Amino acid sequence: MNPANIQAPVALVTGSALRIGAAITAYLHQQGYRVVIHYHQSKEAAQLLTNTLNKLRNNSARAVCADLNNQQQAQQLVAKAQEWGGQLDLLVNNASIFKRTDFTNFNDADWDAMFTLNVKAPFWLSDAAFAHLKVTQGAIVNITDIHADKPLKDYAVYCQTKAALMMQTKALAREFAPQVRVNAVAPGAIAWPEQENTLSSEIQQKIIARTALKQHGKAEYVAQAVFALANNPFITGETLHVDGGRGLT
C-alpha cells in the first residue's frame, strides 16, 4: 500500500532503529519526509519508532529488515523502499560497525565484517538507488567519521573503512553527476560506543577537552547536517564535519 501523501519525499536510512540513525530518521520525518526505517536485528526498536512516527502522520513510516552483508538483500531493500513510497529522494548510508582491532590477536573476520558493512554495503545501496534517485534529482548522504582522515589508535581497520567511504563519496559524486548528489557527514564525539569498556569516562572527558567547543555533541546535530546536505542543490562530493571543532586541535 502506498502512503496517502504521495507528494512528500521519501528517505531510506540504514541502521535507523537506534542511536544516530534513529535521530536522523525522526528529524527527516519532522521535516516532512516519509521514512523507511532499515534494521537487521533491532526489530523491536524499529517497530517502536515506526509506530511513533505513524501516530504523528498516518502511514508515513515503514520498517524493513535486511542483512546488508548480503548484496541481494541490500538491493531488495532499495526496491522495497521505492515500492512503498512510489519514489526515492534520499538514501542515508548510516549502518556501520565500530570495533576495536587488537593487533596482538588480529583476525580476518573483523576485517571482512567491517569492510563489507561499512564500505561494500553503501556502494551496493547507492548503485541500486541511483536509478530511482535520478528521477527525483535526489541525494545520497554517507555517514563517515572524523577518523576517516585522522586515525584513532587501536581502530586501524575501522578508520580504513571510513576513509574508503569518504573516497566512495567523492567517486560516486562524479559518477552520478549531474542527476544525483553524493555527500557525507563526519561526526565527532556524538554517541559513545555501546560496547562496555570501549571508552572509559576518563577517555571521554579527554576527548571533550580536545574539542574546541568543549562539549559532547547530540545526534540531532548529525541529523540537521544530513538534512542540510540533502536539500542544498549545489553541493556534491563534500564531507561536512560535525565535531564541535575537534578537527582543529
For residue 23, what are the contacts with CB-CB under 8 A and spacing of at least 6? Answer: 218, 219, 220, 222, 223
For residue 111, what are the contacts with CB-CB under 8 A and spacing of at least 6? Answer: 101, 157
Residue 78: which pLDDT band, with cuts at 50, 70 and 90? very high
Residue 4 has pLDDT above 50, yes or no: no
**CATH architecture for the domain at 10-248:** 3-Layer(aba) Sandwich (3.40)
For residue 239, what are the β-bridge partners?
184
Residue ranges per structural domain of the chain: 10-248
Mean pLDDT of the chain: 89
User: What would the pLDDT profile of 8-35 be if each residue is shown by its tens digit?
Assistant: 999 999 999 999 999 999 999 999 999 9
**C-alpha dist (Å) from residue 233 to 93, 137, 143:** 19, 9, 19
Residue 59 has pLDDT above 90, yes or no: yes
Residue 102 has pLDDT above 60, yes or no: yes
Q: What residue type is assigned to position 122 of the chain?
A: P
User: What would the pLDDT profile of 185-231 be if each residue is shown by its tens digit?
Assistant: 999 866 555 554 455 566 556 666 666 455 656 889 999 999 999 99
Active site residue 221: no
- Catalytic option among 27, 39, 155, 158: 158
